[in-house]
Amino acid sequence: MPEKRIVLLGPPGAGKGTQAQRLCEQLQIPHLATGNLLRAAVANSTPVGLQARPFMEQGKFVPDDIVIGVLLEAIQAAKRANPGGYVLDGFPRNRFQAEALRKELQRRHEKIDKVILIDTPDGVVQERLSQRRSCPDPLCGAVYNLKTKAPRTPGACDLCGKPLVIREDDRPETIRKRLAVYHQQTEPLLKFYRNQGKLRVVAGDLEIEAQYQALLDLLKTEQLVA
């Protein structure tokens, strides 16, 4: 079966993580979420984690060289474990990262198949992230929403039982910073991928099920899902 290499773009809170996880379960390919990889590094106080910590605590994007190194290692590990492809969630965030990814994939005689923007208004992002709660265990990392995906036991992770927390980057002042950085740095990627004929768009203000169905319909049209 041909590999499927898919990038999900969109602002924080667009639903990239939720939809990527469901899509990966259906396609049986790895979900590579840059945020999860970096949070695990921070929690484990790895060299990369120590470099990334101050940026993440301030709601800033982690420098490109750190992120690219983490992501390329994860892609290589995913390829060894499952040659069917992967979904990238949270990467690339800017043109520099996109060029680095394209260069590395070209070296391996590979390419990104499709880039999907989950187009989400700022107001929707702010509302969603205000309701988000996360498991602090880096080996779990489950994410909940008090309105749309509440834990079975209030305040506790369904998977490991640990108390849920509001991540630093989900606090209101940090959300505003993250959105400002997104609009400045990430939106230029749309032109980059549109010029390559890879960019497709799904509405981000839909409910979870409707958004997932729209994503599936798109991928079926692109012949990436049977």
178 is catalytic: yes
- Which one from 4, 5, 16, 39 is the annotated catalytic residue? 16
pLDDT score, position 34: 87
Q: Which of 39, 93, 114, 128 is catalytic?
A: 93
Query: What letter would DSSP give residue 109?
Result: T
Q: Which candidate, 36, 55, 38, 57, places its Cα nearest to that of 46?
A: 38
Marked catalytic residue, from 60, 95, 167, 198: 167
Residue located via tokens 């990814």: 101
- What local confidence, expressed as pLDDT, does residue 31 receive? 92
Reduced to 3 states (helix: H, G, I; strand: E, B; else coil), residue 4 is strand
Q: Annotated catalytic, 93?
A: yes
pLDDT at 72: 84
The answer to whether 80 is a known catalytic residue is no
132 labelled catalytic: yes
Signed CA dihedral, 147, 120, 216, 7: sign only: negative
The tens-digit pLDDT sequence of the chain (226 residues) is: 578 899 999 998 898 988 999 999 988 999 999 888 888 778 888 888 888 888 877 767 789 988 888 888 888 888 888 888 999 998 998 999 999 999 989 998 999 999 999 999 999 999 989 999 999 887 787 889 998 889 999 999 999 999 999 988 888 888 998 899 889 888 789 999 999 999 999 999 998 899 999 999 999 998 887 7
Specify which residues 87 forms β-bridges with: 6, 31
Whole-number pLDDT of residue 1 = 54
- 4-219 folds as Rossmann fold (3.40.50)
Alpha-carbon distances of 113 from 23, 65, 69, 126, 191, rounded to whole Å: 15, 24, 21, 30, 16
For residue 90, the model assigns a pLDDT of 82
| Residue 194 is among the residues annotated as catalytic for this protein | no
